[in-house]
A and B are shown apart, each in its own frame.
Chain A
């Protein structure tokens, strides 16, 4: 049915220069999917190898073929549609692609283990955690329950799960996301594998938990000499943990080399672009993020020659032929015909770190939005008969947002960020407290005034897909508020306005005939922004608005938001968990923990001289895309997990995890006080 593609086999020879006898050698594999929309060439000519005990990172945007490559190694591609059409995958010298299924099964979980991205869905909900950890031991080691039980307890301790004996009998839903990922790691480690493939192991987790999990994986890999392939789109993670980095783009390997070389001497325009597009905590904040314009190509009809050419600023005519992967220095390869030019400095390789120059908002005396004593308790009924408990989502929150300002709101998931946003949008009734917008008390306003005010408060969500009606075209989605609020005279004016709005957010007007599922993630987020803009708002709540987007797209959206702010004097409440992104876009930052504000300061002060122990640890946990910085520093990890908001610690809510905590901290609730002008913190020891 499918025929092997006639792409010239690239550079297998160049790869072989590595140390004799790699543990795994992937040689020139091609992977295809047969879909209704035609054949998708998800991976084309990928070659790499990994030595025992080595940590290799595979980086690339979503859809670049990282997961497909990993699943190909495990031979777990969807059976009905996916197929490796070409190439070899040598594991300890034997070609996995030609093993009988039974032998392959015996390798899975015993010699090669895999850890997946979504800890919430990767464990079987109806089997106990203990059972799931013991299963590979029983299969591969022939253990019985009596033998496997103690080993499972040992494994759980190894991955840092306390109270292991008791937790063995629990089910996955009784574990948090971070704990489930620890369970996945325990399963992976069970049979002492030689290789672990981790596909975005921490993407779904909070920064603090992310750091814990990565540290754990690295530590275990080193201790047991396990080779580790970490797939990720987060360059910071790569810098901290990888020995070697492989960069993929559109199904192909574009650059490969030691981590240090990739970060300091990238030799492929795509890698260079990626490194520039991430906001970074270790550099002064640039005026604008540099981005890679455009979108990755469709894999059903990719461009001929270099696949990055349509987005590459340095493309030449010769780029129409597929560029070979060539060595630039020992162990460092790039698939760009201009790699030599880049190396010779004929093309700028890293952007000048421009100093922060941004006209910060003129401090007006009257705040646009003012929040006082905002509190929200949800009543949770446990069981049908159970007693009612108050879930303290937001507790006595105070802050102001001034016209033209962006206020960042950071914290771990579950700390109440989103609830604050929903309270402002009046999607939720506050338990106590006051929200004033343009001086009007939103709680006490009469319906007509409220309606007028509400139009000027808009929201952009994290997942643009679920917030756009799938049965409406883009034109209808953006045009709807125009009609509802009577913002246009007639239908013709509406059409013009929609086209105008789409252009404002960088979309072509033709797109208005399309449906949400026909758009990419970045395009959908632009549509969400256009819809918000249609109401002519003054204030927009951006709830994790860029969190789900790829690095290169994320940069584009951030720049768009900043651009619109300058043009229309918008104010934003920018809710996010990524500290670097928040620093880039915000003028002032609020740090929340368990429903309370820990610290408020203007951006530069907060990142330069954080006062609160929680902020300090949070900043420490965030990885920075520079291997030298990362390897030099010893991250101080935040221990433990977020306590339940149903039973928050007494006194300071951070006291259970705070390294400075003393006996008084569990007695007194620290007030948020102004330590320095404009810099507020809630800690007894400052």
Chain B
């Protein structure tokens, strides 16, 4: 098992190199660069000479292959370079935002799981009852309503009902939990609704399937109490597919919350991504893509490990 995990971690290296190559060259295909945006972006009249100097400073005048080499060497030494726009290290730029984005993702996941599992289970057990219909309605809503719109509704209600808006500056959880939570609970709720809808539907359908399995009938034929049939025999099997969905959704939340972050005025990874793309900030974009790719792979590995922990049929050696 440990060997397998290490093996998988090692396998990430070639994948990441592949990602690095693809993202590097894709960015260079697009015309324009950071210097133009930065110096001429506001219609400023800047001489070619200045532009050239700036390009020289950023290394953009070197041949493509040399630039690529520099970047790969940087990667090998775990140095993502500096943002071409702010001149601050890429790691630092991402680091500031990652804490916030991660926290929103984790909170949304907790909310989703806490709501989805009981909701999905109840709906499956009471299939076709009014409870089931309510759950189905609520979850369809979750899929149909975009998170950012729900976010806007939340903000508007807070404003009209309490004449209050959540703080807009980020306070880390360990500094002031109350301030932190009053800011981040709202986006977590807005995102968590959709998230829980996806998971609840998964739990419901997979539990319905499992309840039809032969081994459930066996458990009943043994005289097992019905609540134990559900919790021990059915639910544990039914939650396996839900783990995958939870993992995928979680990975998506890092970097995928562009619009929602805008609504809540959060300075997160999504916003940084949009900014860096509009500024042609190559190094920062590259660094973020690498970070998100790594993150996806780690989440995937975690999901596979959880699977193996829950399902004895899966054993990695």
A binds B: yes
A residues adjacent to B (C-beta < 8 A): 74, 76, 80, 105-110, 113-114, 116, 118, 121-128, 135-136, 139-140, 171, 173, 184, 187, 382-386
Best-buried of A105, A124, A135, A140 by chain B (most CB within 10 Å): A124
Binary contact readout B4-40 vs A (1 if CB under 8 angstroms, 0 otherwise):
1001000000000000000000000000000000000
Which of A105, A110, A121 contacts B215, CB < 8 Å? A121
Is B3 interfacial (CB 8 A cutoff)?
yes
Is B220 interfacial (CB 8 A cutoff)?
yes
Q: Assess whether A108 is in contact with B317, with CB atoms less than 8 Å apart.
A: no
Q: Assess whether B221 is in contact with A114, with CB atoms less than 8 Å apart.
A: yes
Q: How far is it, in angstroms, between the C-alpha of A114 and the C-alpha of B218 when the chains are bound?
A: 8
Which of A76, A114, A126 contacts B312, CB < 8 Å? A126
Q: Quick one: given A384-B4, A384-B316, are A107 and B223 in contact (CB under 8 Å)?
A: yes
Task: Report the minimum CB–CB distance from B4 to chain A (whole Å).
Answer: 6
Q: Quick one: given A116-B214, A383-B4, are A125 and B311 in contact (CB under 8 Å)?
A: yes
Q: Quick one: given A122-B215, A125-B311, are A385 and B223 in contact (CB under 8 Å)?
A: no
Q: Assess whether B316 is in contact with A383, with CB atoms less than 8 Å apart.
A: yes
Q: Assess whether B312 is in contact with A171, with CB atoms less than 8 Å apart.
A: yes
Is B290 interfacial (CB 8 A cutoff)?
no
Is B313 interfacial (CB 8 A cutoff)?
yes
Residues of B within 8 A of A125 (CB): 215, 237, 311-313
Q: Which residue of A lies closest to B218 (CB)?
A: A122
Q: How far is it, in angstroms, between the C-alpha of A571 and the C-alpha of B54 when the chains are bound?
A: 83
Is B225 interfacial (CB 8 A cutoff)?
yes
Q: Assess whether A108 is in contact with B316, with CB atoms less than 8 Å apart.
A: no
Best-buried of A107, A118, A385 by chain B (most CB within 10 Å): A385
Q: How far is it, in angstroms, between the C-alpha of A106 and the C-alpha of B222 when the chains are bound?
A: 9
A and B contact pairs by CB, cutoff 8 A, 24 listed: A80-B127, A80-B128, A105-B225, A108-B220, A109-B222, A122-B217, A122-B218, A123-B215, A124-B237, A125-B312, A125-B313, A126-B236, A126-B237, A126-B310, A135-B219, A139-B222, A140-B223, A173-B312, A173-B313, A383-B315, A383-B317, A384-B4, A385-B4, A385-B7
Q: Which residue of A lies closest to B4 (CB)?
A: A384
Which of B4, B222, B313, B315 contacts A187, CB < 8 Å? B222
Q: How far is it, in angstroms, between the C-alpha of A171 and the C-alpha of B311 when the chains are bound?
A: 10
Is B61 interfacial (CB 8 A cutoff)?
no
Is B233 interfacial (CB 8 A cutoff)?
yes
Q: List 17 extra interface pairs beyond A173-B312, A386-B317, CB under 8 A.
A: A108-B221, A108-B222, A113-B221, A116-B218, A121-B213, A122-B215, A124-B219, A124-B233, A126-B311, A126-B312, A126-B313, A128-B312, A135-B224, A139-B223, A184-B218, A385-B3, A385-B4
Q: How far is it, in angstroms, between the C-alpha of A118 and the C-alpha of B221 when the chains are bound?
A: 14
Task: Report the minimum CB–CB distance from B142 to chain A (whole Å).
Answer: 27
Best-buried of A109, A113, A126 by chain B (most CB within 10 Å): A126
Q: Assess whether A108 is in contact with B223, with CB atoms less than 8 Å apart.
A: yes
Q: Quick one: given A124-B237, A173-B312, are A76 and B217 in contact (CB under 8 Å)?
A: yes
Q: Which residue of A lies closest to B213 (CB)?
A: A121
Residues of B within 8 A of A187 (CB): 218, 222
Residues of A within 8 A of B215 (CB): 121-125
Task: Report the minimum CB–CB distance from A337 to chain B (whole Å).
Answer: 39
Q: How far is it, in angstroms, between the C-alpha of A171 and the C-alpha of B215 when the chains are bound?
A: 13
Residues of A within 8 A of B237 (CB): 124-126
Task: Report the minimum CB–CB distance from A668 to chain B (whole Å).
Answer: 35
Residues of B within 8 A of A139 (CB): 222-225
Residues of A within 8 A of B220 (CB): 76, 108
Q: How far is it, in angstroms, between the C-alpha of A482 and the C-alpha of B221 when the chains are bound?
A: 51
Q: Quick one: given A124-B233, A384-B4, A385-B7, are A74 and B225 in contact (CB under 8 Å)?
A: no
Q: How far is it, in angstroms, between the C-alpha of A124 and the C-alpha of B215 when the chains are bound?
A: 5
Total A-B Cβ pairs within 8 A: 88
Binary contact readout B290-317 vs A (1 if CB under 8 angstroms, 0 otherwise):
0000000000000000000011110111
Q: How far is it, in angstroms, between the C-alpha of A109 and the C-alpha of B218 when the chains are bound?
A: 10
Residues of A within 8 A of B223 (CB): 105-110, 136, 139-140
Q: How far is it, in angstroms, between the C-alpha of A383 and the C-alpha of B214 when the chains are bound?
A: 29
Q: Quick one: given A125-B313, A126-B237, are A135 and B7 in contact (CB under 8 Å)?
A: no
Q: Which residue of B lies closest to A74 (CB)?
A: B221
Task: Report the minimum CB–CB distance from B64 to chain A (whole Å).
Answer: 37
Task: Report the minimum CB–CB distance from B260 to chain A (whole Å).
Answer: 37
Q: How far is it, in angstroms, between the C-alpha of A28 and the C-alpha of B219 when the chains are bound?
A: 28
Q: How far is it, in angstroms, between the C-alpha of A76 and the C-alpha of B225 when the chains are bound?
A: 13
Q: Which residue of A lies closest to B226 (CB)?
A: A105
Q: Assess whether B233 is in contact with A127, with CB atoms less than 8 Å apart.
A: yes
Q: How far is it, in angstroms, between the C-alpha of A122 and the C-alpha of B212 when the chains are bound?
A: 11
Q: Assess whether B214 is in contact with A121, with CB atoms less than 8 Å apart.
A: yes
Task: Report the minimum CB–CB distance from B175 to chain A (whole Å).
Answer: 43
Residues of B within 8 A of A128 (CB): 312
Residues of A within 8 A of B316 (CB): 383-384
Q: How far is it, in angstroms, between the C-alpha of A385 and the C-alpha of B1 when the chains are bound?
A: 11
Q: Which residue of B lies closest to A128 (CB)?
A: B312
Task: Report the minimum CB–CB distance from A506 to chain B (whole Å).
Answer: 34
Residues of A within 8 A of B312 (CB): 125-126, 128, 171, 173
Residues of A within 8 A of B219 (CB): 124, 135
Q: How far is it, in angstroms, between the C-alpha of A518 and the C-alpha of B156 when the chains are bound?
A: 56
Q: Assess whether A382 is in contact with B218, with CB atoms less than 8 Å apart.
A: no
Q: How far is it, in angstroms, between the C-alpha of A316 and the C-alpha of B70 when the chains are bound?
A: 96
Which of A116, A140, A171 contacts B313, CB < 8 Å? A171
Q: Assess whether A385 is in contact with B317, with CB atoms less than 8 Å apart.
A: yes
Task: Report the minimum CB–CB distance from B317 to chain A (whole Å).
Answer: 3
Task: Report the minimum CB–CB distance from B316 to chain A (whole Å).
Answer: 6
Task: Report the minimum CB–CB distance from A34 to chain B (whole Å).
Answer: 13
Q: Which residue of B lies closest to A173 (CB)?
A: B313
Residues of B within 8 A of A126 (CB): 236-237, 310-313
Task: Report the minimum CB–CB distance from A194 to chain B (whole Å).
Answer: 14
Residues of B within 8 A of A116 (CB): 214, 217-218, 221
Q: How far is it, in angstroms, between the C-alpha of A163 and the C-alpha of B232 when the chains are bound?
A: 27
Q: How far is it, in angstroms, between the C-alpha of A495 and the C-alpha of B128 when the chains are bound?
A: 46
Q: Quick one: given A125-B215, A383-B316, are A135 and B222 in contact (CB under 8 Å)?
A: yes
Residues of B within 8 A of A121 (CB): 213-215
Q: How far is it, in angstroms, between the C-alpha of A69 and the C-alpha of B313 when the chains are bound?
A: 34
Residues of A within 8 A of B222 (CB): 108-109, 113, 135-136, 139, 187
Q: How far is it, in angstroms, between the C-alpha of A125 and the C-alpha of B216 when the chains are bound?
A: 11
Residues of A within 8 A of B315 (CB): 383
Task: Report the minimum CB–CB distance from A173 to chain B (whole Å).
Answer: 5
Residues of A within 8 A of B214 (CB): 116, 118, 121-122
Q: How far is it, in angstroms, between the C-alpha of A673 and the C-alpha of B220 when the chains are bound?
A: 54
Task: Report the minimum CB–CB distance from B42 to chain A (whole Å).
Answer: 54
Q: Which residue of B lies closest to A187 (CB)?
A: B222
